[in-house]
């Protein structure tokens, strides 16, 4: 067993984790930033290709309060407005700071170029050309992290559990993936920045490391989660043909820039049958588009892979080339010629609004445990504006690192009892077998879970389907998970890591399903076919915590801001 000790331990090295590491180091703290994959490469940050919303006001006069108003509106009355306000206000500073760190925001004549994205009142989104936002962000932050002496980087360190002693978070138990060795990390503060959970759905835009471990670790440590029922689905994610090197949500700009026709399996337009007009301007609302696609597929009118067709054959080659330049070449590399063929699209799970409950210092209710990035719940309410997730990672990361460092400074580091690690790791121990041929694999169960979540806890839910899902999820927790044989004593023991991931995924799945059962209304991303309307009674956040092995839910008042947006604008101008 290896032991390390640090002021601030950051779990996950995406946009949020790397920002947290930098800001903690700026406060003079020693930092270890760990990722189960490689630093900066494992999660959503490097995969994002498009927009970053912030009221920097380069393209049009803007103010963060306008951004806040749009964010709150999208959130369907559930935004933790204090967090949303911090996100909108501080993103401006973070965007400029990233600029100093040479991220390379697209510019014309010195001004940052900002584009309009759905839900924003004006042109607010910066980006890096061409469709390179995520890789550029990852590279800039990776560089900053590397050059700060106070930061130690740990690629290939899978964090399994937060260690809590006397009600406070004092460190973590991790596995060094390559050697299989157990690592005990003693820390003055821990920042949970291990990303989202959209991998738990069959159709998703996720990396393989987005199975919800952040939420599960926080929950088991005693922190609360909120609003877990709100998973954002993107209506026209790429489905087929197989395409690499492209963002699966890339068809959205294609559709609204040049218009793209959605056709069912019989090559007929169908959006108009669902109360929306799509003719001419192709602006059917996202929720209507999702519902229409879902219904066409359910009624047997889907495309071969279970989605619908998106066709551009009515648009000339010149127009496509002019609007999408190098993208057309990248599509050609994938063997896709939009002049000749339609592609298949389907809604996909894309972002998680719910998450770890924190205060404005990014503190959970467990002293010493902070959270940042997509792992945090609340700022985006019941649906997220496009472009809000990357600034959320920056802003919350910066704060978690700063406040975590301040907390660590005033605290004596507690030595962790080695027994803590033994207990954490004992759970699958009995299932480890020397040279075993694994039968019943965690990956196969994960695939089953993804299908279950997609079919029964997906875009359109009913009480009946949710109950069926909950029953199977609990059975998987108590039976299937315990019956997997895991080969022992191997370096890079993927089967063991898959087991831990499945355990975390099941806990998240349970929390989403339970929360969706309790919210007997439809609001934002949570749509119940059996209860199609929103109800004022549910203008509340739903909380989840563990009591022993049981999950307990509750309701909390939505935190609102006490000033008017006009007051804030007047104060600044």
Partner 1 sequence: MSEDLKTMLKVYRGAADEAPRYEQFDVPHEDGASVLDALVWVRENEDASLAFRYSCVSANACKECMVLVDGKVNYACTAKLNTGTVTVEPLANKTLIRDLVTDIVPPKERLASADVE
Ligand X SMILES: Cc1cc2nc3c(=O)[nH]c(=O)nc-3n(C[C@H](O)[C@H](O)[C@H](O)COP(=O)(O)OP(=O)(O)OC[C@H]3O[C@@H](n4cnc5c(N)ncnc54)[C@H](O)[C@@H]3O)c2cc1C
CA distance 213 to 217: 6
- Strand ranges, E, within 16-122: 31-35, 52-53, 107-108, 111-112
Of the candidates 173, 390, 408, 424, which one interacts with ligand X according to CB under 6 A? 390
Regarding 373 and contact with ligand X (CB under 6 A), the answer is yes
CA distance 461 to 521: 10
Phi first, then psi, for residue 559 (nearest 5°) are: -65, 125
Who contacts 172 (Cβ-Cβ below 8 Å, separation ≥6)?
9, 11, 159, 160, 161, 162, 163, 184, 185, 187, 190
**H or E stretch covering 296:** helix 286-298
Q: How far is the CB of 126 from partner 1 (least distance, A)?
A: 19
Closer of 450 and 522 to partner 1 (Cβ): 450
112-148 burial code (b ≥16 CB/10 A, e <16): bbbbebebbebbbbbbbeebbbbbbbbbbbbebbeee
- Binding interface with partner 1 (CB under 8 A): 2-5, 32, 34, 37-39, 41-43, 46-47, 134-135, 146, 152-157, 176, 178, 183, 206-209, 240-248, 335, 437-438, 441-444, 447, 487, 490-495, 498
Closer of 179 and 520 to partner 1 (Cβ): 179
CA distance 113 to 127: 8
CA distance 21 to 146: 10
Q: How far is the CB of 15 from ligand X (least distance, A)?
A: 4
- Which residue shows structure tokens 């209506």? 235
434 binds, among ligand X, partner 1, none (CB under 5 to 8 A by kind): none
- Which residue shows structure tokens 């309307």? 533
374 binds, among partner 1, ligand X, none (CB under 5 to 8 A by kind): ligand X
373 binds, among partner 1, ligand X, none (CB under 5 to 8 A by kind): ligand X
| Number of Cβ within a 10 Å radius of residue 253 | 18
Of the candidates 29, 158, 221, 495, which one interacts with ligand X according to CB under 6 A? 158
Regarding 55 and contact with ligand X (CB under 6 A), the answer is no
Regarding 43 and contact with ligand X (CB under 6 A), the answer is yes
**Could you tell me which residues are beta bridge partners of residue 168?**
165
Q: How far is the CB of 539 from partner 1 (least distance, A)?
A: 37
Closer of 279 and 491 to partner 1 (Cβ): 491
CA distance 39 to 416: 26
Regarding 20 and contact with ligand X (CB under 6 A), the answer is no
- Cα Dmax for the chain: 70
Q: How far is the CB of 449 from ligand X (least distance, A)?
A: 17
Q: How far is the CB of 233 from ligand X (least distance, A)?
A: 13
Restricting to residues 76-135, name those near ligand X by CB under 6 A. 133
Of the candidates 185, 190, 292, 389, which one interacts with ligand X according to CB under 6 A? 389
Closer of 11 and 406 to ligand X (Cβ): 11
CA distance 366 to 205: 31
Restricting to residues 289-348, name those near ligand X by CB under 6 A. none
75 binds, among ligand X, partner 1, none (CB under 5 to 8 A by kind): none
Restricting to residues 343-372, name those near ligand X by CB under 6 A. 351
Q: How far is the CB of 42 from ligand X (least distance, A)?
A: 3
Q: How far is the CB of 492 from ligand X (least distance, A)?
A: 15
SS3 of 158-219 = EEEEEEEECCEEEEEEEEECCCCCEEEEEEEEEEECCCCCHHHCCCECCCCCCCCHHHHHHH
Of the candidates 213, 224, 227, 498, which one interacts with ligand X according to CB under 6 A? 213
Q: How far is the CB of 286 from ligand X (least distance, A)?
A: 15
Q: How far is the CB of 388 from ligand X (least distance, A)?
A: 6
Please report, as ranges, the residues that interact with ligand X according to CB under 6 A: 11-17, 34-37, 42-45, 47-48, 50-52, 133, 158-159, 193-195, 205-206, 209-210, 213, 247-249, 351, 373-375, 387-390, 393
């Amino acid at each position: 067993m290896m032991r390390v000790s640090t002021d601030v331990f950051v779990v996950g090295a995406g946009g949020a984790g790397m920002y947290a590491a930098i800001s903690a180091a700026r406060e003079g703290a020693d930092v270890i930033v760990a990722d189960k994959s490689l630093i900066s490469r494992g999660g959503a940050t490097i995969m994002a290709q498009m927009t970053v919303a912030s009221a920097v006001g380069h393209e049009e006069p803007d103010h963060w309060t306008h951004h806040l108003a749009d964010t709150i509106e999208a959130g369907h009355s559930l935004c933790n407005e204090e967090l949303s306000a911090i996100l909108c206000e501080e993103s401006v500073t973070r965007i400029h700071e990233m600029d100093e760190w040479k991220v390379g925001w697209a510019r014309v004549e010195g001004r940052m170029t900002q584009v309009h994205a759905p839900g924003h009142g004006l042109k607010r989104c910066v980006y890096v050309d061409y469709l390179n936002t995520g890789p550029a962000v990852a590279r800039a932050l990776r560089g900053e992290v590397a050059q700060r002496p106070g930061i130690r980087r740990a690629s290939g360190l899978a964090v399994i559990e937060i260690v809590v002693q006397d009600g406070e978070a004092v460190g973590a138990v991790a596995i060094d993936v390559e050697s299989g060795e157990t690592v005990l990390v003693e820390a003055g503060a821990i920042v949970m920045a291990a990303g989202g959970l959209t991998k738990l759905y069959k159709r998703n835009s996720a990396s393989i490391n987005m199975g919800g471990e952040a939420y599960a670790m926080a929950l088991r440590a005693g922190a609360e989660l909120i609003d877990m029922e709100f998973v954002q689905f993107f209506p026209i994610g790429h489905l087929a043909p197989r395409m690499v090197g492209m963002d699966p949500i890339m068809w959205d700009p294609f559709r609204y820039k040049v218009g793209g026709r959605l056709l069912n399996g019989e090559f007929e337009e169908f959006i108009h049958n669902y109360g929306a007009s799509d003719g001419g301007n192709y602006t059917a609302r996202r929720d209507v588009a999702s519902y229409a696609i879902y219904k066409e597929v359910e009624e047997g009118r889907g495309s071969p892979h279970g989605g619908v067709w998106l066709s551009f054959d009515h648009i000339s080659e010149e127009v496509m080339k002019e609007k999408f330049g190098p993208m057309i070449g990248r599509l050609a590399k994938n063997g896709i010629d939009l002049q000749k063929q339609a592609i298949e699209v389907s809604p996909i799970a894309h972002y998680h609004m719910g998450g770890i409950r924190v205060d404005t210092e990014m503190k959970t209710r467990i002293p010493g445990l902070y959270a940042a990035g997509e792992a945090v719940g609340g700022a985006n309410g019941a649906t997220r504006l496009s472009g809000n997730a990357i600034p959320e990672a920056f802003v919350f990361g910066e704060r978690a690192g700063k406040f975590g460092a301040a907390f660590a400074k005033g605290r004596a580091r507690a030595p962790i009892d080695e027994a803590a690690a033994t207990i954490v790791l004992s759970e699958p121990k009995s299932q480890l077998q020397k040279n075993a041929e694994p039968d019943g694999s965690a990956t196969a169960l994960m695939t089953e879970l993804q299908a279950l979540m997609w079919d029964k806890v997906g875009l359109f839910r009913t009480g009946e389907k949710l109950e069926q899902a909950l029953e199977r999820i609990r059975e998987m927790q108590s039976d299937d998970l315990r019956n997997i044989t895991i080969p022992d004593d191997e370096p890079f023991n993927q089967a063991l890591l898959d087991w831990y991931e499945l355990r975390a995924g099941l806990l998240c799945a349970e929390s989403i399903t339970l929360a969706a059962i309790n919210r007997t209304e439809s609001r934002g991303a949570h749509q119940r076919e059996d209860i199609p309307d929103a109800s004022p009674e549910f203008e509340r956040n739903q909380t989840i915590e563990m009591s022993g092995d049981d999950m307990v839910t509750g309701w909390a008042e939505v935190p609102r801001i006490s000033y008017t947006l006009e007051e804030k604008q007047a104060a600044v101008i």
